[in-house]
């Protein structure tokens, strides 16, 4: 027994002493508090972005910036930490050697000056940048894991192409928001195998940027239901007076809405509980999602009343739960630490920490919902969202974050 313990200790010590994975970062822009800064910056500094405490076992060895704004900070940080900045994606992955020279890729295409598409979704160059990455993989006949921050793309065709290309190349792929991995108050989750009937969530800010986060929040709950994910039948997005009319006609469970709103801590409505939503919210939006197995999801964007995320759900036996998904809205934006930890695990194990299919679904849902909004709330059939997936990942409450700083 003693010898077994010694061997186990030595193996653990060897694992802890494993050299850091070499990571290439492909970003649209790198400025203070941008997604590139709070994700890639953790590889340069520490999990808390202050050069104190623990650091990911990941080493940033190269950087590509698609745009360089006047307030760029990539050059300052690269010079400080000795990270080369390359002019092309290929050089960033090969370090100029002509051979794949990294163990993983962070693709952070969020922020920057890019056009909007017809539905109002920002067209970040995810397909273009990912295309350059996969070209290197084909050329060198090697692949490494890739993480794509937030959605896979602004439209279904491009999102599916990214997903399918990764499958073809047998490339470990992950994507998504930090919401599925952050704090919940109270710390509850959908019981695995639960017979979910309805989910009602509240969100805020813009539909493209923050609406995506809200969809990731509900999807990480919905995917745990009995049978796993089986697809979505149709969606619609109502706006303005049509939202209030739909609610008056029973479009969603009002008790679930009130339960979700009751979890908010610092939103305007939590400070004025007796004020009517209709008085506080001038331009509401309502995402309505009908899943193939009968699950109904409603996401209300309530600017003026809500400035946090919360969600409530019920099962077929009328069991009800609700919680707030909390983000640290000041540096070090500690929720990004748990997103980075997820990517770190994938780079080390060569296996996605959570399924890319979740973000394929949420990317497609956002696209379809914004199409519905552009068509004045028309129902958009989503027969193409008939894919299935499951996950064995269990959410765990992170430890309390350090105090926020400006």
- Same domain for 170 and 228, yes or no, is no
Q: What is the pLDDT of residues 238-284, one digit of tens each?
A: 999 999 999 999 999 999 999 999 999 999 999 888 788 999 999 99
- Same domain for 28 and 164, yes or no, is yes
- Of the three residues 141, 176, 211, the one that is the final residue of a domain is 176
Which token pair is 67? 């745009």
In a domain, 398, yes or no: no
Question: Shortest CA distance to 110 belongs to which of 176, 62, 55?
Answer: 176
- Of the three residues 116, 149, 176, the one that is the final residue of a domain is 176
pLDDT for position 14: 45
- Same domain for 102 and 223, yes or no, is no
In a domain, 43, yes or no: yes
Contact 119, 373 (CB under 8 A): yes
- Same domain for 207 and 108, yes or no, is no
In a domain, 3, yes or no: no
In a domain, 258, yes or no: yes
pLDDT for position 275: 86
In a domain, 335, yes or no: no
Which token pair is 275? 């004020």
**DSSP element (H, E) containing 234:** strand 232-239
In a domain, 218, yes or no: yes
Distance in angstroms (rounded) separating the CA atoms of residues 20 and 26: 19
In a domain, 116, yes or no: yes
- Same domain for 194 and 320, yes or no, is yes
- Same domain for 91 and 119, yes or no, is yes
pLDDT for position 16: 53
Question: Shortest CA distance to 22 belongs to which of 110, 95, 96?
Answer: 95
Q: How many domains, in total, are found in the chain?
A: 2
Contact 14, 52 (CB under 8 A): no
Does residue 173 surpass a pLDDT of 80?
A: yes
Q: What is the pLDDT of residues 339-378, one digit of tens each?
A: 999 999 999 999 999 999 999 999 999 999 999 999 999 9
CATH of the domain at 85: 3.40.50.720
Residue reference for tokens 């197995």:
293
- Same domain for 208 and 70, yes or no, is no
Q: What residue numbers bound the domain in which 260 lies?
A: 180-327+362-381
Residue reference for tokens 């009908």:
290
- Same domain for 46 and 119, yes or no, is yes
pTM, entire model: 0.94
- Same domain for 99 and 149, yes or no, is yes
- Of the three residues 176, 208, 229, the one that is the final residue of a domain is 176
- Same domain for 219 and 172, yes or no, is no
Contact 208, 123 (CB under 8 A): no
Contact 148, 111 (CB under 8 A): no
Question: Shortest CA distance to 60 belongs to which of 89, 87, 82, 37?
Answer: 82
């Amino acid at each position: 027994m003693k010898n077994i313990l010694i061997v186990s200790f030595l193996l653990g010590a060897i694992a802890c002493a494993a050299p850091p994975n070499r990571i290439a970062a492909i970003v649209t822009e790198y400025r203070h508090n941008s997604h590139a800064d709070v994700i890639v910056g953790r590889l340069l500094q520490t999990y808390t972005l202050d050069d104190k405490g623990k650091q990911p076992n990941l080493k940033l060895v190269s950087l590509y910036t698609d745009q360089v704004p006047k307030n760029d900070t990539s050059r300052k940080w690269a010079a400080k930490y000795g990270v080369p900045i390359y002019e092309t994606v290929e050089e960033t992955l090969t370090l100029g050697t002509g051979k794949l020279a990294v163990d993983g890729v962070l693709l952070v295409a969020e922020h920057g000056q890019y056009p909007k598409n017809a539905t109002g979704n920002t067209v970040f160059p995810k397909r273009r940048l990912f295309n350059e990455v996969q070209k290197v993989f084909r050329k060198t006949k090697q692949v490494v894991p890739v993480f794509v921050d937030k959605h896979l793309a602004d439209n279904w065709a491009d999102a599916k192409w990214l997903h399918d290309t990764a499958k073809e190349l047998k490339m470990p792929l992950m994507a998504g928001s930090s919401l599925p991995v952050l704090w919940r108050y109270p710390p509850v989750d959908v019981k695995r195998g639960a017979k979910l009937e309805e989910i009602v969530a509240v969100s805020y800010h813009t539909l493209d940027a923050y609406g995506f986060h809200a969809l990731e929040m509900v999807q990480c709950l919905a995917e745990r239901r009995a049978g796993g994910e089986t697809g979505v039948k149709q969606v619609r997005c109502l706006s303005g007076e049509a939202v209030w009319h739909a609610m008056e006609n029973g479009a969603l469970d009002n008790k679930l809405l009130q339960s979700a709103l009751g979890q908010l801590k610092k939103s305007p409505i939590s400070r004025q509980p007796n004020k009517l939503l209709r008085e506080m919210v001038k331009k509401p939006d309502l995402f309505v999602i009908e899943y193939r197995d009968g699950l109904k999801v409603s996401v209300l964007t309530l600017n003026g009343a809500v400035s946090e995320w919360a969600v409530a759900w019920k099962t077929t036996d009328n069991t009800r739960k609700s919680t707030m998904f909390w983000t640290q809205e000041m540096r070090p934006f500690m929720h990004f630490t748990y997103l980075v930890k997820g990517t770190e695990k994938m780079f080390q194990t060569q296996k996605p920490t959570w399924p890319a299919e979740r973000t394929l679904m949420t990317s497609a849902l956002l696209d379809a919902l914004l199409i519905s909004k552009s068509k004045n709330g028309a129902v958009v059939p989503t027969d193409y969202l008939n894919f299935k997936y499951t996950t064995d990942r269990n959410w765990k409450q992170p430890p309390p974050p350090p105090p926020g700083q400006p």
